[in-house]
Amino acid sequence: MNILQELENFINEFNQDNNEEFSIDSIRIEFSKQHKKKKLDGIGKWEKLQKNSNILHKLKNRLGVDEVTSVMRLEKHNIYYYNSNKDKPKYRTATMVIFGLKQYHKSPPPHHIVSKVLSILNNVTNIDICLDIPYKPKIELLENYFTLKQFITKDGVSTDTHYINNTNASMIEKIVIYDKALKNGLDCVLWRIEALISIPNIKVLALPLQEFKRITDLLKGIE
């Protein structure tokens, strides 16, 4: 079975058993281009991003800026890979990033293309699982259990975006809570709770969804 299908099944089963609505928003995969590039090129046309493009700047935020040498984009999709120089002088390692899988203002990357990318790379190192709720989450309740960090812009303006950088759950690197409607200009009230989950071994698929649910329940006001 395809990796994407396995991930989706895993989450869907959890959702059914727990009356939950978790979705995948992003997927990241570290890989070596040596034996994959040819197959990836077969999917479609990859274009190099301009040095000054702001997508590139955004993407660099999540990796060490220094080790990113260039970024390739698959046509007009939210599917990219970063080239890295951390294995210098081989320049073979790259990180695939597929994002915006759960969004409302634009259509997400086509499912069959995402599926194809995953079946070529045959791995997943990192995924973001999210839950959207139609009201503002009870962030105060979380403060009893976690250390929260509020996002402050460069100009010193504090925003309604909050982070938990230490979640106690080893596979959950970070939690982000933000105003999704504001971010995407939606005409409704919508907040997103997002967990950045690392997957040490895709062959032993286990996602800390129960741990994530504990946090989303608190944010819904269920103590």
Scored b (16 or more CB within 10 A) or e, 22-46 reads: bbbbbbbbbbebeebbeebeeeeeb
Q: Is 2 one of the binding residues for DNA (CB under 7 A)?
A: no
Task: Using the minimum distance from each CB to DNA, give the nearer residue, 35 or 183.
Answer: 35
Based on the shown chain and the rule CB under 7 A, indicate whether residue 77 belongs to the binding site for DNA.
no
Task: Output the six-digit token pair for 174.
Answer: 């970070």
What torsion, rounded to 10 degrees, do the Cα atoms 46, 55, 150, 188 define?
Answer: -90
Question: Is residue 15 a contact residue for DNA (CB under 7 A)?
Answer: no
Indicate the residue among 69 and 166 with the shorter CB distance to DNA: 69
Query: Considering the rule CB under 7 A, would residue 60 count as an interface residue with DNA?
Result: no
**Which of 48, 105 has the CB closer to DNA?**
48
Q: Which of residues 119-158 bind DNA (CB under 7 A)?
A: 122-123
Q: Which among 17-25, 83-91, 95-103, 187-195 is the span making contact with DNA, rule CB under 7 A?
A: 83-91
Applying CB under 7 A, among 2, 12, 18, 69 the residue interacting with DNA is 69
How long a stretch of residues is the chain? 223
- 159 is a contact residue toward DNA (CB under 7 A): no
Q: Does 86 bind DNA (CB under 7 A)?
A: no
DSSP 44: S
Q: Which of 91, 35, 84, 41 is nearest to 63 (CA)?
A: 84
Q: Quick one: which of 9, 18, 32, 150 contacts DNA (CB under 7 A)? A: 32
Residue 218, CB half-sphere, CA atoms under 13 Å: how many?
15
Position among 10, 14, 91, 151 found at the interface with DNA (CB under 7 A): 91
| 88 lines the binding site for DNA (CB under 7 A) | yes
Q: Let me know how many helices (H) and strands (E) the chain has, helices first.
A: 7, 10
Residue number with CB closer to DNA (91 or 146):
91
Can the peptide bond before residue 89 be classed as cis, meaning omega within 30 degrees of 0? yes
| CB-based contact 126:28 (threshold 8 Å) | yes
Near DNA by CB under 7 A: residue from 42, 89, 156, 185: 89
Q: Which residues bind to DNA, rule: CB under 7 A?
A: 32-38, 51, 69-70, 83, 85, 88-92, 122-123
